[in-house]
Chains A and B, each alone.
Chain A
Amino acid sequence: MKRTGPVVFGFLIGMLMLIQYFTQVPWIDDRYNNVLDWKQVVFGITLILGVVSLFLHHWKKIERKTGGWGYSVVTIAGLLFMIAAALIFGREEGPYPWMFDHVQAPMQSTMFALLAFYVASASYRAFRVRSFHAALLLTAGVIVMLGRVPLGEMMGFHIGEHYFSLGTISTLILDYPNLAAKRGVMIGVGLGMTATAIKIILGIERTYLGKGA
């Protein structure tokens, strides 16, 4: 019941989802759509579990007055404010969308923008490894970076009548070796995902159920 039950249940659900692709039985199609809806509900409630865990984690820090507990107050205040704002004023207008537009969105995009600086320093460290492959990585990276800005269109060379700007070379790199790399990785990942999915449905892979499963 505790160990085999979830695996058998998973097998039945997984097989239903898989069989639906190969059959044209309306009853199976309906149950397939039901499972897709259940998945969304489970995901939504899982998010509640995550937020409860986040709340409890910060609440314990505040109760015990551990180092930096003041920041936990800020996190909990932000969380509760958003929930209360949505419940009292609604999701379409009032403080809830205002907080998203003027606090969450600017902070999130600044976080990502901040990565530009850290990526630059990380790339410096990565490119210090002097090897043929590191040089290839560096060259491709620099060409693509320069090829994406107006300066890249001014830099280039002539072969006969044809002018090859860094922008053109950048497009060629993206369209051929980059596409080949992405496609190779995608096929490899696809094969890995399929194998793992089959192992999960058959109950061979069950580490996702946690300890003792």
Chain B
Amino acid sequence: MWEQAGIVVGALVTLAIFSLLYKDNPLYRFAESLLVGVSAGYYLVQYCFSAIYRKFYIPVIGEGDLWLLPGGILGLLILLRLSRRVQWMSRYAIAFYVAAWSGYLIPSVLQERILIQIRSTFPPSLAEASIWAVLGSLFLLVGVVSILVYFFFSAEHRGALGRISQVGITFLMVGFGASFGYTVMGRVSLLIGRFQYLFQDLPQALSF
């Protein structure tokens, strides 16, 4: 019973959001406001449980692990942003969060985004791979190097540098076009999913 009612409600809110295709209207704005409220409530509960309850309440209050107490104190400091008089104290929590992320990111970014990517760009030797694989890797190498030259702003893009950066922008445009096409198809498959919901799931739910 609740499952069928849920499908009907889901169909109604789906139609309310699709109504924006006609024009901005109260039904759409109602659904939009509801989405904001429900999403905020949902994620608040999820994070309060997984972060505050599991990582603070249980270890500190339940098990007496005081090493996790500073997390709660820093968290409380961030709430001081709501008071103008003491909001400077929240800077400690912000500095903690941003600096912790920065320190955590440096090795992982260097490893994953730079070193591994550079290593994968270099072509394998002919003894290890076919001629087509080597040619493909060389093509990749030309693309990556020319794109990096395009993003190198310390010298004016003239002469050889300008020509290489033009090759780079050509690679970038093909890449952006491909990513665009891929994203559009992802959105279209979501749209098909919504239509299936409206034309298959909803009639089935109504015929119980």
A residues adjacent to B (C-beta < 8 A):
2, 5-7, 9-11, 13-18, 21, 30, 34-52, 54, 68, 71-72, 74-83, 86, 91, 96, 98-117, 119-120, 123, 133-134, 136-145, 148-149, 170, 173-191, 193-194, 196-198, 200-201, 208-210, 213
Closest to B69 in A: A38
Contacts of B180 in A (CB 8 A): 119, 123, 137, 140-141, 144
Tell me whether A80 and B71 are in contact in the complex, defined as CB-CB below 8 angstroms, given that A38-B96, A178-B175 are known contacts: no
- C-alpha gap A74/B2 in the complex (Å): 22
- Check: B102 CB closer than 8 A to any chain A CB: yes
| Interface bracket on B | 35 or more
Taking a contact as CB atoms under 8 Å apart, the answer to whether A10 and B96 are in contact is yes
Contacts of B134 in A (CB 8 A): none
Report the minimal beta-carbon distance from B30 to chain A, rounded to whole angstroms: 6
- C-alpha gap A199/B115 in the complex (Å): 21
Taking a contact as CB atoms under 8 Å apart, the answer to whether A208 and B98 are in contact is yes
Interface SS, A side: helix
Taking a contact as CB atoms under 8 Å apart, the answer to whether A45 and B76 are in contact is yes
- Check: B208 CB closer than 8 A to any chain A CB: no
Of all A-B residue pairs in the complex, the 9 with the closest CB atoms, nearest first, are A181-B175, A78-B37, A82-B41, A180-B143, A17-B103, A184-B147, A140-B177, A190-B113, A44-B51
Taking a contact as CB atoms under 8 Å apart, the answer to whether A197 and B105 are in contact is yes
